[in-house]
Structure 1
């Protein structure tokens, strides 16, 4: 090959080379950033629910929790032996379904060591009721709302009463995001247990008065029995 042929070949200027390299690098970075962004968007938040034995009570705390679709819940042993098990016909001791249609079933099995944990990621929107296998009938139940209320858990009362208080409604969970155990709703005149005790006291007082008035009017007691004791010294 002669010199004229060599001179006719195009040469890549140093500045052109650097500009090209920079462009390729920027495109690579942009592509990488997009992938990282998509991965971050797909990775949900992890929430924690403690499983607790406290005296004669067996507790999920919080008893009510709101999460977004794609979030994960970690159920962990604070004390005692417990499970986190969905109300689903395929699970032990659950004869009814109380999770949304199409939602993935979950069951941790009974965990026995302090700090042991089970995680489940919730993708389907709706209300999820769950329980502890050993303590279901003793009131160890909980509720999650994923995205928005819905499904069988919103159509009928939970079959197992929470130990203290009541199961928080789905809309209340959405409003407050996290509800600690126990949930005792305010009625404007005090908590439900307080109102119940107050009502019982008023009923007993009224009943006592009516019985006393009846005894006096019935003539069972003579007037002498009602004379002033201050004069007799009794």
Structure 2
């Protein structure tokens, strides 16, 4: 145990240990309900449509034994998703999709990647290591990128079983009618920040990330009503129920 702590806080591994500490702090905050699991999440959308409709009509008449009449009509409908695989940007998005970005919550993926990078780095960079026996910082830097590539692939393998689970959860959430439901705040909402709301839907307790509709603070334990979902899809707008 002492050797692990020594290796973790050595110069070669200190930054990764710091990142692992931040990730651990994040999940601890999620467990106690201070923040929502999707508070740092984002959507990966690889589909894009472009519709271009151009009508051009040109008439030119010149009285010099010359008569020119040109009529052009162009109608173009392009689906970027169908041709984008040939472009660098779409290839990059394809790689992200392959690694389960956009299919599994971002923080789940990031946590898996950081844990994997940290574990491999600890294994490779310590005084008794066969790969970097002197725990050289320069050697650790050279090993970082191969470590990252391996960790990305390991993260895909580890999170693969979660893909259908989160896909089902997303489908179930879309099928639920949330607007108009009344619930109790699990955490306070401070001005325009996000809090956590607990509501009962058909006997099932659902936790949602919510924001105040007027930007004012709402205390933990207050009753609120869900108004609508934000366009970003990350949270719902709620209004405090005033008791008279």
> More strand per residue: 1 or 2?
2
What TM-score bracket applies, with the shorter chain setting the length? under 0.3
Larger Rg: 1
Higher helix share goes to which structure? 2
**TM-score normalised by length of structure 1:** 0.22
